[in-house]
């Protein structure tokens, strides 16, 4: 079983549209590749909008620990505020905590005046480090977890799909990505699948590291813009840092020829295979509106043809040339 992850430094380069097309194409082969799909962009999980999944199991994802001060025990000594390095503890004379007091503490049925000399926690700013818990001389602080998202195992039109929805404003997206991917891998191993196809998040930080870790091959989708080379470079440095073999494809290749040339020469310099280009094609958006992979919606469109070529090459690469 091989694990392929689709990445990009910049967002909106077409990762999900490409992943959806691959999902469709690999189902068409004479001997179809059996694949499990994982949407690792849990902040903006869009693969489900194209793969039409039927949810089979749905599970809560808990996390996002934050400190909770028991106002009855708290003496207002202020030590917690002193040790917090995330500016997450304050008192309601400070503007950002005033709003918080209005909203959250109303839920607890407390009057603002009761809170005047007591510290309050901003759960959104709280990093969950629990330093205050261990320093509070009264033992008035405990950590509280919350449901920060859900993850799903679904049956999509092309095979099993693991995906998730992180609630807005939550952290731990790296952990949720890891969970989604682990579940996909487990099923792939148990069911003797050929491939785990991971649709990754943009950027280079924690969710990307979680999405890319353990991949046999990464496909980085670049865009020929003034920013494109810069973002591509950072994505490549990241896969390189984690020793993941990487290929590059350029999407919307014809919007700025000078940008394309720059990316091509950059890839050459780096000894990275530029694996194929996809032209700018409104059929991609039309397909998305119809909730279909472009290769299904408009098989003879220029983008579909390019995607087919790209997939054939990738498939051969995964199977024949062998991935390190």
Partner 1 sequence: MLIAIASGKGGTGKTAVATALAQTLARTGLSVSCLDCDVEAPNAHIFLRPNFLESKPVEMLIPQIDATLCSGCGECARVCQFHAIVVLGGQTLVFPELCHGCGSCTLVCPDGAINEMSRRMGILKGGLSPEGINFGHGLLNVGEPMAVPVITQLKKWRDYKDAEVVILDSPPGASCPVVESIRGANFVILVTEPTPFGLHDLCQAFELTRELDIPAAVIINHDGIGNSDVEGYCREVGLPVLLRIPLERKIGEGLAQGKTLLEIHPEYEVTFRTLYTQIAEKIAQLAVIEGVQ
Q: Residue written as tokens 């025990």?
A: 73
Choices 2-10, 53-61, 156-164, 314-322; region in contact with partner 1 by CB under 8 A: 2-10
Residue from the set 90, 259, 276, 293 that interacts with partner 1 by CB under 8 A: 259
The helix (run of H) or strand (run of E) holding residue 32 is none
Nearer to partner 1, 28 or 49 (CB): 49
Is residue 202 within 8 Å of residue 230, measured between CB atoms?
no
Closest CB 315 distance from partner 1, rounded Å: 26
Q: Tokens representing 194? A: 């050929």
Choices 28-36, 43-51, 68-76, 307-315; region in contact with partner 1 by CB under 8 A: 43-51
Is residue 9 within 8 Å of residue 204, measured between CB atoms?
yes
Site residues for partner 1, 86-105, by CB under 8 A, read 86, 96, 99, 103
Q: How do strand 2-8 and strand 35-39 relate by DSSP bridges? A: unpaired
Residues 193 and 212: their CA atoms lie apart, in Å, by 19
Residue 65 in contact with partner 1, rule: CB under 8 A: yes
Q: How many helices (H) and strands (E) does the chain have?
A: 12, 11
Residue 168 in contact with partner 1, rule: CB under 8 A: yes
Residue 51 in contact with partner 1, rule: CB under 8 A: no
Residues 259 and 26: their CA atoms lie apart, in Å, by 31
Contacts of 82 (CB under 8 A, 6+ apart): none
Q: Provide the binding-site residues for partner 1, judged by CB under 8 A.
A: 8-13, 16, 42-46, 49, 65, 83, 85-86, 96, 99, 103, 124-125, 127-131, 134-135, 143, 166-171, 173-174, 201-209, 223-228, 230-231, 234, 237-238, 241-242, 255-256, 258-259, 280, 282, 285, 288-289, 291
């Amino acid at each position: 079983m091989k694990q392929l992850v689709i990445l990009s430094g910049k967002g909106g380069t077409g990762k999900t549209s490409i992943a959806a097309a691959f999902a469709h194409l690999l189902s068409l082969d004479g001997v179809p590749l059996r694949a499990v799909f994982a949407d690792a962009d849990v902040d903006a999980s869009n693969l489900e909008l194209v793969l039409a999944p039927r949810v089979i199991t749905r599970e809560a994802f808990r996390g996002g620990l934050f400190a909770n001060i028991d106002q009855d025990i708290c003496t207002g000594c202020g030590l917690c505020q002193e040790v917090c390095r995330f500016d997450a503890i304050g008192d309601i004379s400070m503007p950002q905590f005033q709003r918080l007091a209005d909203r959250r503490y109303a839920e607890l049925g407390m009057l603002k005046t009761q809170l005047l000399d007591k510290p309050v926690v901003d759960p959104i700013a709280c990093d969950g480090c629990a330093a205050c818990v261990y320093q509070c001389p009264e033992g008035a602080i405990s950590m509280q977890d919350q449901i920060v998202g859900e993850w799903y195992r679904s049956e999509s039109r092309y095979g099993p799909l693991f995906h998730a929805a992180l609630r807005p404003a939550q952290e731990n997206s790296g952990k949720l990505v890891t969970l989604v991917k682990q579940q996909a891998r487990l099923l792939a191993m148990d069911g003797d699948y050929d491939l785990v196809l991971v649709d990754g998040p943009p950027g280079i930080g924690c969710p990307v590291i979680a999405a890319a870790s353990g991949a046999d091959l990464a496909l980085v989708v670049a865009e020929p813009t003034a920013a494109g080379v810069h973002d591509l470079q950072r994505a490549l440095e990241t896969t390189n840092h984690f020793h993941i073999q990487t290929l590059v494809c350029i999407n919307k290749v014809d919007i700025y020829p000078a940008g394309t040339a720059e990316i091509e020469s950059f890839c050459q310099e780096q000894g990275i295979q530029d694996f194929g280009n996809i032209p700018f094609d409104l059929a991609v958006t039309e397909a998305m509106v119809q909730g279909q992979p472009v290769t299904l919606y408009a098989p003879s469109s220029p983008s579909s043809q390019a995607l087919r070529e790209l997939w054939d090459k990738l498939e051969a690469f995964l199977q024949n040339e062998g991935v390190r």
